[in-house]
Amino acid sequence: MSLALARKWRPKTFSELVGQSHVVTALTNAISQGRMHHAWLFTGTRGVGKTTLARIIAKALNCEALSNADPCGRCDSCLLIDQSRFVDVIELDAASNTQVDNMRDLLETAAYKPTVGEYKIFIIDEVHMLSRSAFNAMLKTLEEPPEHVKFILATTDPQKVPVTVLSRCLQFNLKPIPAPIIKEQMRKILDDETVDFDDRGIELLSHYARGSLRDGLSLLDQSIAQGDGRVQEESVKSMLGVVDDSLVRSLLEISLQQDGNLLVQMTDDIERMGASFSYVLDELATLIQRLSLFSLTVEGLDEELIPGYQALVDQTDEEHLQLLYQIVTVGKRDLPLAPNEKVGFTMVMLRMMAFLPAPELGSLPKAQKNKGRQPSIEKTKAVKKLSTENTKKDHMFGALNSNEEWKRFVSEKVSSGMAKMLAENAQFQSFSEGTLKLSLEDEHKHLLEDRYKSKLQELIREHVDVKCRLEIKAGVADDTLLADQIVEKKSRLDQTTKDLEDDPFVKSLKSDFGGTLVSESIRPSK
């Protein structure tokens, strides 16, 4: 049985260690110059290389054939340290050995010279877990150890380490490893292991590792098992509970439109997919941050994303985005306090709908406006039936024989809900033999739910003169109603900009005071 990837690919030399070049440079220079301190403290989050670095130092100090400060990995000392069988390298897990007696037993051996190697090295992991008495017991030895003794301490929580210990150590902070470095390491490992993978799959894994290479390799092991020996985007998404970017954008649009019915549908969809509501909130916060940045600059943004981002930015403003970001991040913090994640997530979304920027506070809430005049169910049904009949009589469409007819139909007859979102993003392909064929881009494939298609089919049967069957397939859909709306908004924005440039007052401000017109702050006229 093969080892886990995190163990198999654990670095054994300084040159193999990734993401910590600032620490490696300092240590290799010190070893090369023979200026080694007697005690080091490595801090940082889990899985960034603290214990690994400690073992590499132990090998470098006892290596019989040191080369450019890197242990050879072939001599007896290096091999035994790799196997955790080197008698002069003593490792202690402070989490399970917290008492003062454990520390005293350890320190008693410090007085004796190394049995095999040049140095006797004590590696104490999770040192912050030691008791106060244990810390006090090691202070004297830590301050003035014998020349043959070196201490290497590691912790994820340096705040709990007494300042008297900190002052006796050289402290190195190991940074969280950037996602691109984790991704590149995963690519190297998978190539060496001859495992098939796609780029998007390992990109998701590196992002979800949260700066910990060990966590990333553990996820990589899991994804290989999940994908039956392959690392593919779909299996990784299923394993992590990740949702498509388009779904996150749809959620934000729902909150801006204040569509409660659509919110319930989308929440049920997320639960049915088995996605993590916590992850969805993370992605929602990230999207809001990107939109805030987009309002100032498009630098570094994929050109394909610009139209969708522009459509969302046009529906809000900078102040509202700041408010939404605060709501989402606070909601993510409070999610563990909710009865369950779905309830907590739903309340966050409702809060995004309920709270409006200051200029909107003067208007009555929807619930208050409608209070006391809720129609009965029977009356609602009667009105709906009458309305449907009149619509059929007076505004029947033909057979929808062109894309322009299809866009007009969507604009006039599909009013709200996920069916509207599906229709706006779909492009007419053909109508023949009673079948209306539409195409939909891959990024909107989450809209291809049977109930959304059924609702759209129902609307088509209500308003189209000819009975037809609806068929929607993935394909090119660049001439849609939504695309037209984006073009129209851009045209209005350009016209608004031109009107401002031609405005006499604006001209006088520019000429008299050297003013400039900030184009990013301009919003299209209604």
What proportion of the chain, given as a percentage, has pLDDT over 90? 3
407 & 451 share domain: yes
Residue range 472-510, pLDDT digits in tens: 888 888 888 888 888 888 888 888 888 888 888 778 777
Residue 278: CA count within 13 A, CB half-sphere: 10
35 & 53 share domain: yes
232 & 346 share domain: no
Residue 333: give its domain's CATH number.
1.20.272.10
Number of compact structural domains in the chain: 5
33 & 104 share domain: yes
In this structure, is residue 346 part of a structural domain?
A: yes
Residue 71: give its domain's CATH number.
3.40.50.300
Residue range 301-344, pLDDT digits in tens: 556 566 777 777 777 778 888 888 899 999 888 888 888 888 99
CA distances from 148 to 134, 171, 255, 347 (A): 22, 20, 66, 61
155 & 20 share domain: yes
pLDDT(375) > 60? no
Sheet of 426-432: strand order equals 426-432, 435-440, 469-474
- Predicted confidence at residue 297, as pLDDT, reads 65
Query: What's this model's pTM, rounded to 2 decimal places?
Result: 0.59
| Distance from chain centroid for Cα 364 | 36
Radius of gyration of the chain (CA): 32
Q: Do residues 210 and 247 touch, judged by C-beta distance below 8 A?
A: no
- Predicted confidence at residue 202, as pLDDT, reads 87
167 & 199 share domain: no
In this structure, is residue 371 part of a structural domain?
A: no
Q: Which helix (H) or strand (E) holds 6?
A: helix 5-8
In this structure, is residue 366 part of a structural domain?
A: no
SS (HEC) of 105-170: HHHHHHHCCCCCCCCEEEEEECHHHCCHHHHHHHHHHHHCCCCCEEEEEEECCHHHCCHHHHCCCE
Q: What share of the chain is helix, strand, coil (3-state, %, to 5)?
A: 60, 10, 30
Count of CB atoms situated within 10 Å of the CB of 233 = 17
Of 299, 325, 360, which residue is a domain's last?
360
36 & 144 share domain: yes
DSSP state of 521: G
Summarize the confidence of residues 198-208 as an average pLDDT: 86
In this structure, is residue 93 part of a structural domain?
A: yes
pLDDT band at 520 (very low <50, low <70, confident <90, very high): low
133 & 256 share domain: no
In this structure, is residue 473 part of a structural domain?
A: yes
Sign of CA dihedral 347, 348, 351, 353: negative
Q: Say what the alpha-carbon torsion angle 18, 23, 26, 28 is, to the nearest 10 degrees.
A: -40
356 & 387 share domain: no
43 & 100 share domain: yes
- Domain range for 506 is 483-521
